[in-house]
Amino acid sequence: MPFMDKWSCLVTGAGGFLGQRIVRQLLEEEKQLEEIRLLDKVLSPQLLLEFSELKHKTKVTVMQGDILDEQLLHKACQGITAVIHTASVIDTGLWRRKEVMMEVNLKGTQLLLEACISASVPIFIYTSSVEVAGPNSYRKPVQNGHEGELLESKWRNAYPYSKKLAEKAVLAVDGQLLRSGIIMHTCSLRPMYIYGEGSIFLQSEITKALNNDKTIKRNKEGSMANQVYVENVAWAHVLALRSLRDSEKAQTIGGQFYYICDDTPPQSYSDLNYELSKEWGFKLGSKIGIPFTLLYWAAFLLEMISFMLYPIFIYEPPLNCHLLTLTNSVFTLSYKKAKKDLGYMPRFSWLEAKQKTSQWIGTLVAQNREYLKTKAP
């Protein structure tokens, strides 16, 4: 069966780093999109103006509020054809925002699924994370991994744990018969580390380097991971949506998860930051002087101290084993399944992505320069 003629879409986290790109691409590419609903806690007036000007034939409806607001979710899902759920809280700490992440990432997803089932929404796409797959150990490299290997994170840290449980909940409802008589189909996309203009994580690393003579802290020698440009991740969501709107393809894609990366060369996170910023005079720091195994065990001891103190005092260690493993392992994955099933191919090359991101970093450097001038005596 071909695509539905007229359809509508709800995007959660629509004002976020990824969500706003998905909204832009839907407005630009989907000619039959009658209405798009934007759900987020905060949506800037400038962003809303841009969305409204992109495509005048598509109705843009703003639904400002919390993903835990059940009444709002039920209202947002009424009459909707598809949901793209990107809203999430990300944190790499041990205790920091743990309760919030479990509430937003897991409970919020469960509540949204319930609202979709109640409103007979037939399509649900979940923005998951590579962290639901691993890495579990810096000693065990995974190279060119794929979906068939069924890699699964063993970490109990709130972010990977909440995302893993939420993804399982999403995929479990695929194939459910809705009250309208339509079959519900779901799928999950697992992007690698997402970079690009506006990334708060990349901005944080650049800010740290600016405060350290433009020196980027180096990861463990030999570590390697995939990174993916934000516009390519957004495009993967559009293609997944198109595939699920086709009832024949939905039979194959429903209930599946897909790794999403692009042609950014696999490299360490510090090498990526350097490649994106070297045009502006940034440099890589010296190699880690402390043996990594010793650093890891130090993090483990700090975690044990934190757990022992937990009943009376919340101590957030400066290091934790999950973060060290995540940023200092060999863990690369393939997007071949997404290419085969979704027709996914990156819209932007590594060169284009690097140029665009580097230009944005240049604006951060200029802003920092202006800031320092105001502080000069």
252: domain CATH number? 3.40.50.720
pLDDT at 2: 46
Is residue 72 in some structural domain? yes
Question: Which residues form the catalytic set?
Answer: 159
* 214 falls within a domain: no
Structure-token pair, residue 70:
């059940």
Residue 231: count other Cβ atoms within 10 Å of its Cβ: 23
How far apart (Å, rounded) are the C-alpha atoms in residues 300 and 204? 25
Q: What is the pLDDT of residue 376?
A: 61
CA 214 and chain centroid, separation: 27
Q: What is the pLDDT of residues 198-207, one digit of tens each?
A: 999 999 999 9
User: What per-residue confidence (pLDDT) applies to 311?
Assistant: 80
Tokens of 243: 């595939």
pLDDT tens per residue across span 139-192: 999 999 999 999 999 999 999 999 999 999 999 999 999 999 999 999 999 999
Left, alpha or beta for 213 (phi > 0: left; psi -120 to 50: alpha)? left
Q: Is residue 297 part of a domain?
A: no
The tokens for 134 are 């691993």
Q: First-to-last CA distance in the chain?
A: 70
Residue 313 has pLDDT above 60, yes or no: yes
Q: How many domains does the chain have?
A: 1
Residue 95 domain-assigned?
yes
pLDDT in tens, 354-376: 999 999 999 999 998 877 767 66
The answer to whether position 318 is within a domain reads: no
Range(s) of the domain holding residue 251:
7-196+228-265+332-348
Residue 369 lies inside a defined structural domain of this protein:
no
Q: Looking at the domain assignment, is residue 336 inside a domain?
A: yes
Reported for 28-33, long-range contacts at CB under 8 A and 24+ positions apart, including other chains, are: 28/54, 28/55, 29/238, 30/58, 30/238, 32/3, 32/4, 32/5, 32/6, 32/7, 33/7, 33/8, 33/9, 33/58
User: How does pLDDT run across 64-78, given as a tens digit for each residue?
Assistant: 999 999 999 999 999
On whether residue 219 sits in a domain, the answer given is no
Tens of pLDDT, residue by residue over 99-154, are: 999 999 999 999 999 999 999 999 999 999 999 999 999 999 999 999 999 999 99
Residue 76: strand, helix, or coil: helix
Per the structure block, which two tokens stand in for 354? 């690097």
Report CA-CA distances (Å) from 89 to 99, 144, 169, 273.
11, 28, 17, 23
Q: How do residues 240-269 score in pLDDT, each as one tens digit?
A: 999 999 999 999 999 999 999 999 999 999
